[in-house]
Amino acid sequence: MPLKNSGADFDTMIVIESSLGKNEYDIHSLTKAFYPAEDVKIVEIERQDDPCLIYHMDNESPVFKVPENDRDELKRLIYRELSKRTGKNLPWGALTGIRPVKMAMERLMRGMKDDAVIADMKEKYYISDKKAQLCVDIANRERSIVSGLYPDGYSLYIDIPFCPTTCLYCSFTSNRIGKDRTVVKDYLKALFKEIEGAGRLFVDRRLETVYIGGGTPTTLTSDELNELLGCISANFDMANIKEYSLEAGRPDTISRDRLRVMKRYGITRISVNPQTMNENTLKVIGRLHSPEDVRRAFFMARDEGFDNINMDMILGLPTETVNEVRITMDELYKLQPDNLTVHSLALKRASAMGDWIEKNGTGIAGDTGEMMDEAVKGALKMDMKPYYLYRQKNMSGNLENTGFARDMKYGVYNILINEEVQDILALGAGAISKRVYANGDCKRSANFKLVDQYIAGIDKMIERKRELFLRSEVPEA
């Protein structure tokens, strides 16, 4: 069967001819999970009477006869065929979605017992015993954590899209800050206008969590941070806040005066994110701090009274093996953070990681699954439990991102944004608001990503919030 203007080179990529006209995301995601180092291209063909997928790889062209209108069975079929060809069993089986815990949660809410949920997910999606058990454990913990939330409550997200540098793996729309801070002042002026407009829309609603992220919010000076937090307090009722988080993030941006501003406005949870405690890796990925800077920032935050500190780490960074992960975990154990978020590296098109891999001839080193085992062991050693989880496309080792925390130190906002159980009012460049309806549907409204477009279109951003949250109708199924 000839390809139609595909421009595909069979010698340098896996080409899949598809007669389905849909499900491209599932087909591409599963194929990349089995062949992470290969380019994958899907080409649509006409074959109405005999729906199929034709894989062109390894100098062969196997034909997969596929069910036309059964998405789950299609994924199971692809998984079986590729597992047979590669000899691999993926930890998440045929699942391609980013919220596997939500699937476990839905089953528990229908009255299924833990063992039945595990058996059902293993049978339908071929996921491993370990991941099925993890889903159920987190789902039960999430139910307990969010049970005390107000029925009509909402959460607020504020985006600060600036960073000292752009990390090698990062795909977020962030702006490197140099000596000219004019853009920051212009951005804050627009953001304050959106905060004021959004505050009027939500005057009768109960705000329960606030999360300030980015980017790196602590690229703001202490005076700018004071203005921002003051504007939030002036426009939203903070009386019922259960959690107030700010991503200090980069240790090289954390200072005592900034921490004191945060404390003054009631910030309860911050992040001090090393990503790794290996100095060579930090240089490779473009972070300006050292492991010693991480320790300095962490103890400074403790000294200023912060008793809920999260730390992020990434598995699968360039040049790292299990040994480097072990070193990071040993160093974090000495610090004893309250939260640990373990990320599996996701290769993003918008990041510089792809160029680095092409130039250096190497990518993700070592066994990421073994790295995850080492990280989990370290989290448990610090008396932490997994409390939220999500997945991304093209994740190293077909794994996941998992948040661990000690009892009563859970990041509530992380659960709310991932499981879509509460309205999220999101302000700032690139922020995406979510309205969650009583029937479980979720409708989104995105702000402009680029800072200059956001500033120029701020009135439109405010109007989008009005249209999303003030209309009462439930979206059509």
Report the chain (477 residues): mean pLDDT per 10 consecutive residues. Answer: 42 84 89 88 83 89 86 94 94 92 95 98 96 97 90 94 70 59 93 97 95 94 97 97 93 96 98 93 84 96 98 90 95 98 74 57 63 96 97 82 96 93 95 92 94 96 94 55
Q: What angle do CA 290, 309, 282 make, to 5 degrees?
A: 20
What is the sign of the dihedral through the CA atoms of 284, 287, 288 and 290? negative
So where are the chain's domains? Answer: 13-86, 100-145, 148-426
What's the CA gap between 152 and 19, in Å, rounded? 45
- From the list 69, 119, 127, 77, the residue with the least C-alpha distance to 100 is 127
DSSP label of 396: G
Identify the three-state secondary structure at position 378: helix
Q: Which CATH class is domain 13-86?
A: alpha beta
SS3 433: strand
The alpha-helical segments, DSSP class H, found in 202-255 are 222-235
**Which of helix, strand or coil describes residue 96?**
coil
Q: Report the amino acid identity of residue 3.
A: L
Surface-to-core class of residue 172, CB atoms within 10 Å of its CB (0-12 exposed, 13-18 middle, 19+ buried): middle
Structure tokens, 27: 């087909």
- What is residue 174's predicted lDDT score, i.e. its pLDDT? 55
Predicted local distance difference test score (pLDDT) of residue 4: 40
- What per-residue confidence (pLDDT) applies to 276? 94
Sign for the CA dihedral angle at 413, 417, 419, 425 comes to positive
DSSP reduced 3-state for 306 = coil
pLDDT computed for residue 477 by the predictor? 46
Return d(Cα 39, Cα 30) in angstroms, integer: 13
Alpha helices in 385-444 (DSSP H): 412-419
Beta 13-18 vs 39-44: how paired, if at all? parallel
Q: How far apart are CA 272 and CA 274, in angstroms?
A: 7
**208-259, pLDDT tens digit by residue?**
999 999 889 999 999 999 999 999 999 999 999 999 999 988 899 999 999 9
Task: Give the CA distances from residue 439 to residues 152, 307, 380, in Å, rounded to whole numbers and listed in that order.
Answer: 14, 37, 37
**Which amino acid is located at 80 in the chain?**
R
pLDDT for the residue numbered 2: 38
In angstroms, the Cα distances linking 29 to 32, 33, 97, 261 are 5, 6, 9, 44
Burial 198-210 (b: 16+ CB within 10 A, else e): bbeebeebebbbb
Apex 80 CA angle, 94 and 73, nearest 5: 60
What is the value of pTM for the model shown?
0.89
Give 148-426's CATH code, choosing from 3.80.30.20, 3.40.50.720, 3.40.50.300, 3.40.640.10.
3.80.30.20
Q: What is the mean pLDDT of the chain?
A: 88
Q: How many distinct helices (H) and strands (E) make up the chain?
A: 16, 17
Residue 155 φ then ψ, to 5°: -120, 155
